[in-house]
Amino acid sequence: MKRVAEEVDCESKRQKRDFSAHALQTPPPKPLSASFSVPTLASSSLPLPQIPSGFTPISRVQLTLQAPANGGRNVFSVIGVVTYITPARTTVNGNWMCPLRIVDPSNCEESHRSSKEGLMVNCFRVTRKEWLPSPSVGSVILLRDIVTKNGDMTAIGYDDKLQWAVYDPLTQKIGRGKLGNTPESEAPAGALGVPSGPFYVPTETDLAYCVALGKWWRAISQAATGTIHQIEAESSFSSRRSFGRKHLLMSQVMTEIEIDGYFDCTVRIIDGHPNGSAHRLYVTDGTPFKGGRPFQMSGCSASLVDCITPIEMSDDAGREGPNMLPGEYYMLRNVRFMQDKEGYVKAKLVEPKIHKLEFDSANHDEHFKALLERLRTREDNYERDVRSTSVGQARN
């Protein structure tokens, strides 16, 4: 573990440089008393349940990081909402590392919503990349036995200590990522001991808190981004105005908001690739992005060739972009509508206000349900047109 410890120190120093300017403008964690309990959810008449036994409010963990650098080490278990995560990468020594950022009601300033808020946790694995947590932004993660050092900038999840579980508020299920052929546990090399793995099994109390935390995050996210309005049809949208940001179809953006305005959308990922320091996604909602630069894309369904929208993802959103895979569905908030020097319109996303959607949630999400129906209708119409054309050619 010596090499992992060296990499932890190196990564900590780098992140200390990266976040030094940010620390000057971010409010300090709320002070805690020994009798701390989770604050009441302001937008709900029901309070969040108390943090389960064995877990610590995140702000208390952050207080240890602000303590004088005297070599002191602390071990905590936390539950928080993921606000940022990057894909797992290899370190200089060949180990796997995954940084993520988490918040809970104790360290989230609802009136000061920064894209870099929360506690940064660097998770390490010597082997088994699949054993690293891979939650989506907005999921609730349980982390057991993370370590902090007084005066450092981040908490650490060590290979031989960290256990975790992820609760997805959309599917309402506990997930362990995409294991493939990787086992959930294994015995130590050359040992006859009981097999062990990185996966924590939440209790009923843990799950109840995760459910409540997911609802809390959804409530404050909606309050921060404005009211989301249902879109029943393009023709009816113009009569429904809002002082909040609008949820729009791509075909509506040109007529409904000004250049440099912002909107929300529900989309399916078609493709994506790095673009300099950013990440470019190609998405569709089944409607044409009017005024956009024309282009062609191999591998795209012929029924959607006129309905592809490129979205340039930079900063924190750009780091999340590689996690978003073709065929997946997302709700994107705070997308910026822009225009390039040649007059073509384009879209850009900077903050990681990204919510992955699962099919199980379609019945409860009218935007998602409408998207699936639009795509299905376009595919059916295209196949019918192809069959009609083939029959006509055969007759001639």
**CATH code assigned at 76:** 2.40.50.140
Confidence grade of residue 71 (pLDDT, cut at 50, 70, 90)? confident
pLDDT of 269 strictly over 80 = yes
314 belongs to a structural domain:
yes
Where in 293-353 does DSSP place strands (E)?
309-313, 329-339, 345-349
Q: What is the mean pLDDT of residues 111-118?
A: 56
- Is there a single domain that holds both residue 292 and residue 317? yes
- Is there a single domain that holds both residue 211 and residue 263? no
Cα gap 176→288, rounded to integer Å: 37
pLDDT of residue 23: 34
Structure tokens at 62: 């952050």
Cα gap 396→378, rounded to integer Å: 27
393 belongs to a structural domain:
no
pLDDT of residue 239: 30
pLDDT of 68 strictly over 70 = yes
Is the torsion defined by CA of 296, 299, 301, 302 positive or negative?
positive
Structure tokens at 38: 């989770």
pLDDT of 134 strictly over 50 = yes
- Is there a single domain that holds both residue 215 and residue 243? no
Side chain identity at residue 389, one-letter code: T
- Is there a single domain that holds both residue 205 and residue 231? no
More confident residue, 294 or 289: 289
Cα gap 396→390, rounded to integer Å: 10
| Percent with pLDDT over 90 in the chain | 25
- Is there a single domain that holds both residue 201 and residue 248? no
Instruction: Among 220, 235, 270, identify where a domain stops.
Output: 220
pLDDT of 302 strictly over 90 = no
| Torsion (CA) 221, 57, 14, 333 in degrees, nearest 10 | -10
pLDDT of residue 7: 55
Secondary structure letter of residue 159 according to DSSP:
T
Confidence grade of residue 8 (pLDDT, cut at 50, 70, 90)? low
Q: Which of 87-91, 128-132, 285-289, 316-320 has the lowest mean pLDDT?
A: 87-91
pLDDT of 381 strictly over 70 = yes
User: Backbone phi, then psi, for 328, in 5-degree steps?
Assistant: -85, 160
Q: What is the mean pLDDT of residues 114-140?
A: 83
From the number of C-beta atoms within 10 Å of its C-beta (0-12, 13-18, 19+), residue 69 rates as: exposed
Is the torsion defined by CA of 244, 245, 246, 252 positive or negative?
positive
Specify the DSSP element, H or E, that contains 168: strand 163-168
pLDDT of residue 386: 52
Cα gap 274→56, rounded to integer Å: 38
pLDDT of 26 strictly over 50 = no
Contacts of 336 (CB under 8 A, 6+ apart): 260, 261, 262, 347, 348, 349, 350
Averaged pLDDT score across all residues of the chain = 75
| Percent with pLDDT over 70 in the chain | 70
More confident residue, 21 or 216: 216
Cα gap 208→314, rounded to integer Å: 35
235 belongs to a structural domain:
yes
186 belongs to a structural domain:
no
Contacts of 229 (CB under 8 A, 6+ apart): 240, 242, 244, 246, 247
- Is there a single domain that holds both residue 110 and residue 237? no
Cα gap 55→75, rounded to integer Å: 11
Cα gap 100→224, rounded to integer Å: 22
Cα gap 60→250, rounded to integer Å: 44
- Is there a single domain that holds both residue 96 and residue 66? yes
Q: Is the pTM of this model over 0.85?
A: no
Q: What is the mean pLDDT of residues 261-280?
A: 89
Specify the DSSP element, H or E, that contains 122: strand 119-125
Cα gap 44→272, rounded to integer Å: 39
Between the ranges 37-51, 92-106, 374-388, where is the mean pLDDT highest? 92-106
- Is there a single domain that holds both residue 157 and residue 238? no
- Is there a single domain that holds both residue 210 and residue 238? no
pLDDT of 267 strictly over 80 = yes
pLDDT of residue 319: 87
Give me the domain span that covers residue 318.
226-382
Which residues in 371-393 are b (16+ Cβ under 10 Å) and which e?
Answer: bbebbeebeeeeeeeeeeeeeee
pLDDT of residue 9: 57
Confidence grade of residue 228 (pLDDT, cut at 50, 70, 90)? very low
Q: What is the mean pLDDT of residues 96-103?
A: 89
- Is there a single domain that holds both residue 153 and residue 256? no
Give me the number of domains the chain comprises: 2
- When computed from its CA atoms, the radius of gyration of the chain, rounded to whole angstroms, is 23
Q: What is the mean pLDDT of residues 68-85?
A: 86
Angle at CA of residue 223, ends 347 and 260, nearest 5°: 25
Q: What is the mean pLDDT of residues 345-350?
A: 90
SS3 310: strand
- Is there a single domain that holds both residue 332 and residue 252? yes
391 belongs to a structural domain:
no
394 belongs to a structural domain:
no
- Is there a single domain that holds both residue 247 and residue 102? no
More confident residue, 254 or 232: 254
Q: Which of 73-82, 225-234, 319-328 has the lowest mean pLDDT?
A: 225-234
Q: Which of 14-23, 65-74, 125-134, 294-303 has the lowest mean pLDDT?
A: 14-23
pLDDT of 149 strictly over 90 = no
215 belongs to a structural domain:
yes
Confidence grade of residue 279 (pLDDT, cut at 50, 70, 90)? very high
More confident residue, 20 or 339: 339
388 belongs to a structural domain:
no
